[in-house]
Amino acid sequence: MVSTGLASAQTLLHNRYQILRILEDGPWSIAWLAEDTQRLSGRQCVVRRVKPLTPDVAVQKQLCDRIQTEIETWQTLGGIHDQIPWLSSFTDADNQIYLIEEWVPGLTLTQVIQNSGPLDEGAVQTILTKLLSLVDYLHQNQVVHCALEPSNIVLREADQKPVLQYGGILNQIMAHICVECNIHPLPWIPTSGYLPHEQVVLDQHYYSSNLYSLGLIGIYLLTGHDPYDVFNLTAEGGEWSQVVPAADSAFTAILNKAIARLPGERFVTARQMLKALAAPGQFLQQSLSAHANLIEQMGTYLSSYWLHLNPSEPTLNSYPG
């Protein structure tokens, strides 16, 4: 990976953004907290510089085009919904890409758990409900998020609402470009465990893919453990609820439906999952009834099939003659 110099405090980027301090320096980008000097309010923002992947001009252009397409999508959503930060960008004279993101004071969900430990079910349900409202808004705009995980969601200091961050989206774009362009050596690509099989392996994105991620985020908030630490995601029905003392069976059933391995077995829409969270007892009863009906139907089918394979012998007086 091509290295980039770091902007120091007091640097003025794009003749506008006064660097205050560094926020993170990751494999794909470096981000600073900055002040917008062209705003009378001195509004603070995040300036994120994308690190070049390779000296190859064609690959860099493909990367720029992909990022710009993603930016255009999020620009139509950011700043409209209050849980999606506004976003803009610019490219400097050296063709380096900079993302300008709304600064949201607060802690990521990862930091919340690291600082305070697992949350109770009431707090987790509140966070998931607010996240589902946000995801429903994305889906209404035909957008499936590609990187929903605790480190990319901030609990806003002012009102404790979960707010999206753009770093995870950028990571996914960079990882895809690395694979598509056969870049070697392949940079380290983090796998969080919060994305479903169809997104990670097949590059297929369904609305239920986001609900899978939210289900695992809920389990993380309850247990304090990442998915790989709780159970093997390649196996069906990991017993994660054993980690939570006195886990509510209805809430457990909701989360288990959200993280079903096959997309067709999950909630279909965010609103459907919201409805289940609003009345967990009713959801559990309906699930148990549906399961009992399925077992009864299977029993009827198997009995009929068995009779077809083994028809009853006719009685002696039923033969002609």
Convert the pLDDT of each residue in 66-94 to its tens digit.
888 888 888 889 878 999 999 988 888 88
* Residue range 198-231, pLDDT digits in tens: 988 888 999 999 999 999 999 999 999 898 887 6
Confidence of residue 175 (pLDDT cuts 50, 70, 90): confident
Q: What is the largest CA-CA distance in the chain?
A: 110
DSSP strand pairing (12-13 vs 17-25): antiparallel
CA distance 121 to 54: 46
Tell me the per-residue pLDDT of 286-307, one tens digit each, with 9 for 90 and over: 887 765 555 656 656 566 656 6
What are 37-72's pLDDT values in tens digits?
Answer: 998 888 999 999 988 877 888 888 888 888 888 888
Instruction: Give span(s): CATH 3.30.200.20, the chain.
Output: 8-103
CATH architecture of 106-308: Orthogonal Bundle (1.10)
- Quote the CA–CA distance of 313 and 316 in Å, as a whole number: 9
Structure pTM? 0.83
Sequence-distant (6+) residues with CB within 8 A of 167 are 24, 26, 29, 31, 48, 151, 152
Q: Where does the chain hold its CATH 1.10.510.10 domain(s)?
A: 106-308
Residue with tokens 């099989």: 197
pLDDT for residue 288? 76
pLDDT tens, 85-120? Answer: 999 888 888 878 899 999 999 999 999 999 999 999
The CATH number of 8-103 is 3.30.200.20
Q: What is the pLDDT of residue 220?
A: 95
Q: What share of the chain is helix, strand, coil (3-state, %, to 5)?
A: 45, 15, 40
CA-nearest of 62, 66, 19 to 44 is 19
pLDDT exceeds cutoff 50 at 137: yes
pLDDT at residue 112 in the model: 98
